[in-house]
Amino acid sequence: MTAAAVAVALARARAFVDAHGDALQRARAAAVLDPRAREAVVGQLPPVDTPVGAYLALGWLDALSMRRGAPVERAVATLSAVQHADGSWILGDERDEAAEIATTGSIAGLLAKAAYTRKRVLDAAGAWLGARWGPERVQGGDVRLIAGYAGFFANTDHELSDAGLQWCGRELERGFRTGTIDALTVARVFLLCDAQALPGGKLGADEIVLSLLAQQSDDGAVRDLEGTIDAMCALHRLGE
């Protein structure tokens, strides 16, 4: 892997998003490469007074390492207000407990990185997730569960974090080695975890960056527009 190859891939990805994306997608792609462009993203975010809008906005801002500021604070407030009494979240698309675990872990992991989240919100989420944790949850290779648990365990000081991350890291690598989880999906988990690798395996940032470079199409895309922006974030952060 060379810095030059990553720079070329980022430029090609940016050109793809500029050619095919909407205004917010173009702004997000620009902000990956230039922090001065971040305010343009803030000005085009979806309304953060709805749970889905807050979740999307918080995820997009987190991917750009934007964890302070008024939009983040409002998104945290919205998501905290709709947390269920048992500590979980349901945003409307969940159809089973696995989907609810994935949503709860992902939201709680993002909230754990934001500057304005109250401890009681994370404690409640941790109690709910902890009661539903077991290695068998991730051994099936369901990347939704791996990402949900890993995102929470990596960003909180939970009593299950060490053991849970070991299992998540092992199963994420297993999926990657067997071809059931691709490089972009692994990269998204690494970004959620703010990690260059997860414990429990030997899969690291360098290998994922090389795989992302190979996954990029001739037009600069990595899967689709959202995948391309996520790949840009991963190449920028993991390829440093």
CA 14: distance to chain centroid?
20
Placement of tokens 């920028």 in the chain: 236
Say which DSSP state 235 is in: H
Give the model's pLDDT for residue 2. Answer: 79
The 10s digit of each residue's pLDDT in 21-53 is 999 999 999 999 999 999 999 989 989 999 999
Decide: 199 and 174 in contact? Cβ < 8 Å: no
Half-sphere exposure of 168 (CA within 13 A, CB side): 30
The 10s digit of each residue's pLDDT in 70-89 is 999 999 999 999 999 999 99
Local structure of 84: helix, strand or coil: coil
Question: Where is 117: in which H helix or E strand?
Answer: none
Which residue intervals of 51-96 are DSSP H helices?
51-63, 70-81
Question: How many residues appear in the chain?
Answer: 240
Rounded average pLDDT over 51-62: 95
Give the model's pLDDT for residue 240. Answer: 66
pLDDT over threshold 90, residue 94: no
The 10s digit of each residue's pLDDT in 139-165 is 989 999 999 999 999 999 999 999 999
What pTM value is reported for the model? Answer: 0.93
The token pair at 24 is 């917010």
